[in-house]
Each structure stands twice: as structure tokens, then as C-alpha cells.
Structure 1
């Protein structure tokens, strides 16, 4: 079997094309990611997930998705219920701390029930970004609130709910996207806050949850740390802040390199990300030309990156079953008042 490369890749449609099958077999990405364009009905999702794993010869190859609730939710009814955004969980927490923590755990647990039945093994959640006044609304309601301690508490509860259902949580966007004044899908923002302000506000939830198994980077420039480039490609941010100040030693995955925030060709982007110390390059849009360029510069998943990937994989499938009907009824009660 070909050794896995430091890649997570998407695909173009509801099933793999012959070109995609040949490409994935040759390049052997470590994992895959699904988007709404890849989803139609239950058996189609299961078949697509199975065919991705077949390409790389690993039945446990991780398959990721962004299933947050609110406006970022790839599975919709009837495949999965529509869920409230993180801000609704935060509203419960502000009224009753214990109720909010339980609601956050249930929020994660519901996603785990939904995703596991389709063979999806990782959810890019919790969002630990802490917005500030005047920031872009790209985070907005996706955040649990504007208090770093509350964000950390609710993020941990949500991650634990996912893990109770055998799903790998991926916290994002480390070391913090809350101050960004632009949407990184379209442009690269620069944050000018002092290092001390960043430590107290933006980094704090990630520091509190630095024991979680996986995290996704922010395509954000922090001028107080490295004015030359975004966190995703900055060795200074990765080594001194994410690994050092924050103390995160889990699997570090880039945000999507097909977003417009990162400049340059896709091979150069992939090379810069891995050179900075990020473990895995994420490419989402399924465009073959871009994936081919990124794969050409990707490297085998080995050393510390392999150790971190193996530790993250150990979370998957370790289920605390629970009674789904009872937990869904409890979840509905918490959010009835918010609605």
C-alpha cells in the first residue's frame, strides 16, 4: 500500500470520476472532506465515503465535514435536522451555565449521531474564535459568544459530545479568527492587535483546549507576530504561538487552500504550509488541476505528523452509545426557549 500523503482532499460531485479514482489511488491522501455538492441521499453518501476509502486502501481513512449548525451545515433535512448555530448555545449558557454546557454537549452528540450513520468520521467543530466589535461577520453566529472563557467551556462540551459519539472534533481556527476584518474565502485579513491582547482574548480558548486531538489553522496575518504572512504558512506562528504559547501538540490541519486568502500557485501553497510546520494540507473544492499541483508538493505523512495523526485517529469510533431518542428529546427542550 502506498504511504499516505499529508493531504485531505475533496471531490467534485456525488460519486468519484475515473480520473479522481486514479488520482487518489496514486497520491494516497490521508483523508477526504465532503461538501454540500457531494451530498444527495443516504446510500449515495455511504457509497461515496466507501469509494474514497477504497481508493487509498484504508477502511478507516478519515472523512471530514463542516457540520456546525446554523448557516454552516452540509447535511440538511431529511439527511439531518437543521441545528441552531453556536450563538444559540451561548445564549442558553448566559442564562444558565450548567444548562448551556449540557446543551453544547448535546449539540455535539447530535452531530455525531447524524454523521456516523453515513460513515463520516470527523467534524470541523468546535469554532473557538472570539469575535470583536467591527470584525467580519464570517464568524458571527458561528461563535459561542464574545467571552473567551465561555467560548472555551462551550467548545470543550461540544467536542466531548462529538467524541462521545465516536467523531473526531477539529477546533478552528487556531490561533484565532475572531478579529479578522475580512472573509478569508475572498481576501487575506491582517489583525493589528498586540500580542498581549491576542493572548488574553484570541488565543485563550485554544490554550484551554490545547489537549484536543486536532485543530485547523486561520488564514489570518497577525502583525504583532509575523507581518509577512498568514498563520497557515508562518513557521513563527506555528512554532512560537500554536505549539509554544498555546501549547497545542495535536494534529494541525490547514484551512482550505482553495480559499482566496492565500496567494500563489497551489504547489507553492502546499509547500509553504508544510514547511511552516502544519501537519496536513486541506484542499476542498475538488478541482483536479489544483489538487494535482498541491499533491506534487505534499510529502509522506511521517515523524511527528504521523504520531499526531495516529493519536487523532484513536478518537474515532470510541462510542458511548446513549439512547438517541431520549437525547434528541432533551436537546429539543433546551432550544425550545431560545427559538
Structure 2
């Protein structure tokens, strides 16, 4: 399989996309709001993707964090809080916050599992601060790094209980970015000591996660020339070394303006630096084709680890009564800090 996760144009699989999935051998497909209309349509799309790829277990990813970042949105899917809301609850009642994070993970996972989606790009383990860009904002749990790590692990537990793999993000930490990496390359000037004491902490606490995503940030103290996604030093010495993450490392979206060069060059630099997978999110067929044509194949050991990390898709099921009870319990917990 190629070291690339691609995306789709719309809610139905195009004939050209069907052909590309069959011959291009992507490692997975990531979905966005443009792909998600209602539960039945979404399940049909996921099934069609796997049929086209000739792979009944092909990983299908999505960003379903709660709050602003929800590709499955009301009224077709249940509303879920931003992680910052759960962090505020935890600041009032830590145990209630931890339970709320677990329940949110189980609810998100339940919705994804019913759709046939097997990977959620969550939780955000970035530590918020007074200068954190609005692009992160309330996607972050809190400004206390230990609390972020605890809540992130609770969310991961909930996702796992529903048969969905979690992706911790954005390594080695996006909380100090003062600008939006979708628009430009943020530069972080904090010292290594400050990063160790603060930003790295939640990722160290969750270093045994099976999947993680990089940040398109330039850390002056770590590599003054290359963003983390494309930095061999940051990936080997910090993410793999100091933080201790050994699982599958996925780049953030190649389309973001924080990176420069052609999409093929961006993907090549990310993989050469140590990312296992390059992520392409814009859904343009011509660009997906170019990236897949140029991307290397995953080494067999890493490809096996990728597939081991991702659960097999569930059969399509009706909504669980247990999930409804979980949703009611979550609402009751959130009322504590309202």
C-alpha cells in the first residue's frame, strides 16, 4: 500500500474515484463534511469505498472531535460538546470531567462505528494558552498539561470501547501557535526546556497510543529550518525519542499553507522525515492521483502495524440504547459546569 491517505469529492463515490482506489493502493481514505449527508448515505459510501479498493478492512478516517470540528453534525447526528467544555467541567469536578470525556469518546465512536468509519483523528492533546490560535481554541481541553493528558486518555478509552481507533494530535504540540497553519507556517520560539515542561507532557502521558498526527509548526529550538511534519530531527529525537511514540505517525493535511512546494514534494518530505503516512484532504481527483503515483509504498512492517492498529469495521447496526443512556448521562454531567 502507498504511504498516503486520500480524500473524496462528495457524498457519492465517483467512477474515477472508484478506479483510483482500485489501482492507486492508498493506505486509507479520510472523510469530511462534504462526504456526510445522513447515516444511511454515509454507510453506503464507506461500503462503496472498501469495495472499490478491494479491501473489506480499508481504514476510513474522519475528524470528529465535538464542538466546532464535527463532520457528522446535527440534526442527522447528535450534538457533542467541544473538548474545552469538558475541560471546564474537569476544572470544577475532575472525576466528572474524566467521565464526560470517556462518554464523549464512546458516543463519537458509536456514531462512527455505525457508519463504518474506523479511525477518529482525536483527541487534540495541544495545551491551550493565552496566545493559542483560534484554529485550536476550544478544541483543546485545557491549559493544564496533566489534565489534558488525563482527559485525552479518557476520550481514547471511550473511542476504543466503541471499536474506533484514536489519533492523538498535533505532535509535538500546537498550543503555542499564534497563527493558523491552514493559512501560514506558525513559528514557535519557546525553549526546549519550556516545551518539555508543558507542551510535551500530554503526549508523553499518551505515548502508547497507536496512531498520532504531526503539527505543521516551525519550532526554533528544535529545528530552525523545517516544520515538525518534515523534520527528521523532531520526528526521531522528540516524537519518537523524548516523547516515546512508537506507533503510526500521520502528517497533518498536505494542503495546508504552512507547507511549501508541490503536493508531491510535501508528501515526499514528510515521509522522508519519518511520517508513516501523508494525509491529503482536499478531495481533488487530479491531486490525489499525482500524490499516489509519486508516493512510496509503506515498508511491510509499518504497513502491518498500521493495519493492526485499526479495528475491522462493524456491521451496520441500529443506534444502541446504551448510547442514548450515555448521551443523557453526558448532558447531566455538563450541567454541573453550566
Q: TM-score range by the shorter chain?
A: over 0.9
> Which runs of no fewer than 5 residues in structure 2 stay unpaired?
315-319
2:124 is matched with 127
Where does 1:131-146 land on structure 2 (aligned, <5 Å)? 131-146=128-143
1:153 is matched with 150
- Confirm or deny: 8 A CA contact 1:269 1:294 kept in the other structure: no
CA distance in 2, matches of 1:137, 1:285: 21
Specify whether residues 219 and 267 from structure 1 end up closer, same or farther in structure 2 by C-alpha distance, changes over 3 A only.
same
Specify whether residues 315 and 196 from structure 1 end up closer, same or farther in structure 2 by C-alpha distance, changes over 3 A only.
farther
Where does 1:156-195 land on structure 2 (aligned, <5 Å)? 156-195=153-192
2:271 is matched with 274
1:30 aligns with 2:27: yes
Q: What TM-score comes out, normalization by structure 1 length? A: 0.95
Specify whether residues 158 and 322 from structure 1 end up closer, same or farther in structure 2 by C-alpha distance, changes over 3 A only.
farther
Q: CA deviation at 1:336?
A: 2.4
> Which runs of no fewer than 5 residues in structure 1 stay unpaired?
none
CA distance in 2, matches of 1:183, 1:108: 26
Q: CA deviation at 1:315?
A: 8.1
Q: Secondary structure at the residue paired with 1:254?
A: strand
CA distance in 2, matches of 1:73, 1:277: 29
1:45 is matched with 42
1:73 aligns with 2:62: no
2:93 is matched with 96
Give runs of ≥4 in structure 1 deviating > 3 Å: 314-317
2:110 is matched with 113
Q: CA deviation at 1:316?
A: 6.7
1:329 is matched with 328
Q: CA deviation at 1:57?
A: 1.0
Per-residue displacement from partner, 1:89-108 (whole Å, max 9, x unpaired)?
A: 11111111111111110010
Q: What TM-score comes out, normalization by structure 2 length? A: 0.95
Cα RMSD after superposing both structures: 1.5
Per-residue displacement from partner, 1:62-119 (whole Å, max 9, x unpaired)?
A: 1111111111111112321111100111111111111111111001011011111111
- Confirm or deny: 8 A CA contact 2:118 2:310 kept in the other structure: no
Query: Aligned residue pairs: how many?
Result: 333
Per-residue displacement from partner, 1:302-334 (whole Å, max 9, x unpaired)?
A: 2442243033125876xxx88223222211211
Where does 1:162-311 land on structure 2 (aligned, <5 Å)? 162-311=159-308
CA distance in 1, matches of 2:4, 2:285: 14
1:60 is matched with 57
Q: CA deviation at 1:289?
A: 2.3
CA distance in 1, matches of 2:238, 2:74: 40
2:317 is matched with none
